[in-house]
């Protein structure tokens, strides 16, 4: 999409959000290579780095660290932020717009299930929906 937008001179920016566990997929790095080779400065990747995947902690299942150095060496501008700090998020997105000649990767350090006491940092919540009672409790905590 970012490549097509460049071809069309449309000035469209493409934002791509990916998890940290999925950085283990080979295709992510094929795409990373392509993005910097074709100088896709209209592409902004946001990595949700909560260090959890279905089987457990990312660094225990199959470490993908250091994420920032990997993307830097693949030709990205890299910005590390606290993914729960709105000011940092906005500043990073604004900075990404000014980067020329290469794509940007924002590595957002996050806590899975943040704000809900029984969900925080629990890998089990990766792929299941809360029951009615759990949903009520979670919403109360968030409000």
Partner 1 sequence: MNLEITKATRQSYGEKLAELGEKNKDIVVLDADLSGATKTSIFAKKFPERFFDMGISEQDMMSTAAGLATFEKIPFASSFAMFACGRTYDQIRNSIAYPNLNVKICASHAGVTVGEDGATHQMIEDLGIMRGMPNMVVMCTSDDLQTKWAVEEISKIKEPVYLRLCRYATPLIYDETQKFEFGKGIQIGEGTDATIFATGVTVSEAIKAKEELEKKGINIRVIDIHTIKPIDEELIIKCAKETKKLISIEDHNIIGGLRNCYF
Binding site for Mg ion (CB under 5 A): 19-21, 50, 52
Q: List C-alpha distances in Å: 131 to 14, 136, 142.
A: 35, 9, 16
Whether 86 and 26 have beta carbons less than 8 Å apart is answered as: no
Place of tokens 């089987």: 55
As measured in angstroms, the least distance from the Cβ of 52 to partner 1 is 23
d(CA 123, CA 33): 30
11 near partner 1, judged by CB under 8 A: no
For residue 10, whether the previous peptide bond is cis, meaning omega lies within 30 degrees of 0, is no
17 in contact with partner 1 (CB under 8 A): no
Q: How far is the CB of 2 from partner 1 (least distance, A)?
A: 8
Using the rule CB under 8 A, give the single segment among 23-31, 75-83, 109-117, 133-141 that binds partner 1: 23-31
139 binds, among partner 1, Mg ion, none (CB under 5 to 8 A by kind): none
Partner that binds at residue 20, options Mg ion, partner 1, none, CB closer than 5 to 8 Å by kind: Mg ion
Our finding on whether 119 is near partner 1 (CB under 8 A) is no
Phi, psi (deg, nearest 5) at residue 85: -100, 105
Q: Does 34 bind partner 1 (CB under 8 A)?
A: yes
The H or E element that residue 95 is part of is helix 86-98
Positions that interact with partner 1 (CB under 8 A): 1-5, 7-8, 26-27, 30-31, 33-34, 37-38
């Amino acid at each position: 999409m970012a490549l097509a937008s460049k071809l069309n001179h449309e000035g469209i920016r493409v934002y791509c959000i990916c998890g940290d566990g999925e950085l283990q997929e080979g295709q992510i790095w094929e795409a990373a290579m392509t993005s910097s080779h074709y100088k896709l400065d209209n592409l902004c990747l946001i990595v949700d780095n909560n260090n959890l995947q279905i089987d457990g902690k990312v660094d225990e299942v199959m470490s993908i660290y250091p994420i920032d150095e990997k993307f830097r060496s693949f030709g990205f501008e890299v910005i590390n932020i606290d993914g729960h700090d709105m000011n940092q998020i906005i500043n990073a997105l604004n900075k990404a717009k000014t980067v020329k000649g290469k794509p940007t990767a924002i590595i957002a350090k996050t806590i899975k299930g943040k704000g809900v006491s029984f969900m925080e940092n629990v890998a089990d919540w990766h792929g299941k929906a809360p029951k009615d009672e759990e949903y009520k409790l979670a919403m109360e905590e968030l409000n």
